[in-house]
Amino acid sequence: MKRLWLLFAQAVTLLLAAYFVVATLKPQWLGRGGPVAGSTGTISILEAPPAPAGQAVPGSFSAAVKKAAPAVVSINTTARNPYGNDPWFRFFFGDRGDQPQAGLGSGVIMSPEGYVLTNNHVVEGADAIEVVLQDARRTPAKVIGTDPESDLAVLKIDLDKLPVMTLGDSDALQVGDQVLAIGNPFGVGQTVTSGIVSALGRNQLGINTFENFIQTDAAINPGNSGGALTDIHGNLMGVNTAIYSRSGGSMGIGFAIPVSIAKQVMESIVTNGRVVRGWIGVEPTDLTPELAETFGIKAGEQGVIITGVLNNGPAGQAGIRPGDVIAQIDGKPVASVSALLSGVSALKPGQAAPFTVLRRGEKLELKVTPAQRPAAAPRQSLPGER
């Protein structure tokens, strides 16, 4: 018995030795890959089977990028220094004041006619604008119109066979949805980053007058302004506009204007040369529990309290008074100052609209005929904004 056990042990030892020799010298015999060329020895590796021709690797966004990226353009601007001829400026800075200032941004081709949507701050003050397509075509662009209050601008280029962006439904976005940011950060060339929708309806950021931003953690850097925020199918969801940053680069907090707003602004600019908005002449404040109690508003009622009314303004002429709470505009609920601003701006000047007003516990239905909103002051850039 002892002799048989010894023979068995020797046989197992020889088999193991043979296995290790084959695994080292001829791993392909065991189905474990082959040697890596260019090395001093051999390394066994496992190679994944190639993806079928024409099919994307699972989890890849390549199909969305192929669909959307051709319609995203780079925008180069130049502007003369307005102080270049000032003798005091020349005394302190020399002739550098004559050198044109260059700027970078991105844009989205919205129609076959050559309308390009971008941010107002990308082209503001520019003396010359050049648009560069993904296929390397270059062409000058002219400004059709700008809207500083939403920080949007519409350009026009004259080229044939333009790729056009497919518009998505930004109102259907949900927090957690995956998105792609496409643009030209730092002028390195078209770049795609991915992330999720971090929040919706961001406002009171002090960036624009009308704020209803999509917040995303997809990397957005200087040069991405005016570029596309798309869903994973390559449909446009927003126009990348600003970032929160302490370093000048992406910190995972970027903001995009929803395409639902951008489309309305673009159509108004193309049709009228500017954006026409309603205005009623009131000073609103968000309704807090303390204010609701003070002005006799029942618990649970939503609205915006009016703290000031312009004499002879549209609201004053319709009977709205300080202390009133605007609860609805044209049948749509108003829950915040930004909602009131958006609701009023969407009204057509000169056309009466129904307002639901709460006054000391009573509900009133008033007809307000909005006027045209006065032109906005030039937009001021914020630290860290892109």
Catalytic residues: 121, 151, 225
Cα distance between residue 153 and residue 227, in whole Å = 12
Q: Do the beta carbons of residue 116 and residue 110 sit within 8 Å?
A: yes
3-state secondary structure 225-275: CCCEEEECCCCEEEEEEEECCCCCCCCCCEEEEEHHHHHHHHHHHHHHCCC
Cα distance between residue 281 and residue 372, in whole Å = 10
Task: Give the tokens for residue 143.
Answer: 């400004």
Task: Give the tokens for residue 92.
Answer: 């302190």
Taking alpha carbons only, the member of 59, 61, 74 closest to residue 230 is 61
| Burial of 120 (C-beta count, 10 Å sphere; 0-12/13-18/19+) | buried
State the virtual CA torsion across 140, 376, 201, 322 in degrees, nearest 10. Answer: -170
Using alpha carbons, list the distances in angstroms from residue 243 to 222, 224, 271.
9, 10, 31
| Burial of 280 (C-beta count, 10 Å sphere; 0-12/13-18/19+) | buried
> What amino acid occupies position 30?
L
Residue 149 has phi, psi (to 5 degrees) of -70, -25
Cα distance between residue 238 and residue 255, in whole Å = 9
Q: Do the beta carbons of residue 114 and residue 163 sit within 8 Å?
A: no
